[in-house]
Amino acid sequence: MKTKHKNKTFKLFLFAFFFFGGGALSAQETHLKNIRQLTWGGDNAEAYFSYDGKSLCMQSNNKNWGLECDQIFNIDIEEAAADSTYRPALISTGKGRTTCSYYLSDNKHILYASTHSGGENCPEVPEIPGKYLWPIYNTYDIYVSELSGKIVKQLTDAPGYDAEATVNPSGDKIVFTSTRGGDLDLWTMNIDGSDQKQITFGLGYDGGAFFSPDGKKLVFRASRPSTDEEVKEYKDLLAKGLVAPSNMEIYTCNVDGSDLKQITNLGKANWAPFYHPSGNKIIFSSNHHSQRGYDFQLYMIDLNTQEIEQISSNSIFNAFPMFSPDGKQLVFSSNRNNNGTRDTNVFIADWVD
């Protein structure tokens, strides 16, 4: 359905599964054909294509694989789609907690963020009663690994949180989120870690950035606390290594941070954005339509007309969409087909414009 745009590691969205399950709803998902399930248990998210479109890197905490917290895996798409018992190859060290993996353009290396240098155990997840929060561990740094799991380079070593890194289409530039400037801002660097530059400066959480198909722009999620109360809460939480992800909108800017624009103004949590292959639309996850806040669906906004189209309607959690390099497929995470458990799995579909 279409509506006019009016005045946006993840476990927040799994909270509802405990109470409401993940059963499929009657749905018309006209852009998604030949949907195939690639994982079968645990929380599997942030699955992103290799440059040749044959593989995916992702994070998972599947207990059946002996995991206590998220680690990075490499999925052979065709093998996973053909075998529900398929187990992807572990890429990360198995130590600490990891997040936000992404292929390099040679299809032989993956970058990801990990806390393993700060300790081998999974870091504690801090809690504040009545609030859902994401931990911003100051031991996260960004590493490059061979597919075998051998780390070949550490790209960041500044004090604070460095994570959420992705690579541009030409394979020579990285965007990531860092707290080294005192706030959660976007930074860029060369593929070898050199020339690290801050490109966003507004107070609030800037993260989950991806490059446009031509590599000239970025799309990302951001919170922008405005009232004195909101600003105080944001700063207090950040000082404790926490962020509340319940109020975010979608923004774009040039790679150098110029031409910053707010794309959505929907309220609630609008996040996990990715450019449509045309560069004229952005697909993202949002709960703006939900009265209770736990129903996350995929939407796509036309940057020219501001029209928003709902893409998914099956189950109550759909997020982390990414188009394949040739634009013919969409990968995403969903709690559909999980038999009422809290599992979130990776799905791939043929994309129909």
Which DSSP string do the residues of 211-233 spell out, in sequence order? E-TTSSEEEEEE----SHHHHHH
- What is the sign of the dihedral through the CA atoms of 155, 160, 161 and 165? negative
338, 316 Cβ separation under 8 angstroms: no
Separation CA 13–CA 6 (nearest Å): 24
First to last CA, the chain: 14
29, 311 Cβ separation under 8 angstroms: yes
- C-alpha distances (whole Å) from 189 to each of 85, 161, 196, 204, 211 are 39, 15, 4, 21, 13
* Amino acid at site 93: T
Q: What is the largest CA-CA distance in the chain?
A: 54
* Amino acid at site 216: K
Q: What is the mean pLDDT of each run of 10 residues along the chain (353 residues)?
A: 39 38 57 98 97 98 96 98 97 98 98 98 90 95 98 97 98 98 98 98 98 98 98 97 96 98 97 98 97 88 98 96 98 96 96 97
Across the strands, what pairs with 274? 283
Determine the CATH number of domain 2-351.
2.120.10.30
| Entry pTM | 0.92
Res 293: pLDDT: 64
Joined together, the tokens standing for residue 113 give: 């963020």
In three-state secondary structure terms, 78 is: helix
Q: Which of 298, 272, 326 is nearest to 50 (CA)?
A: 326
Backbone phi, psi, residue 65, to 5°: -100, 10
115, 70 Cβ separation under 8 angstroms: no
- C-alpha distances (whole Å) from 326 to each of 204, 279, 330 are 34, 13, 10
53, 325 Cβ separation under 8 angstroms: yes
Question: What residue segments make up the domains of the chain, in order of their start?
Answer: 2-351
143, 153 Cβ separation under 8 angstroms: yes
The number of beta carbons lying within 10 Å of the beta carbon of residue 152 is 9
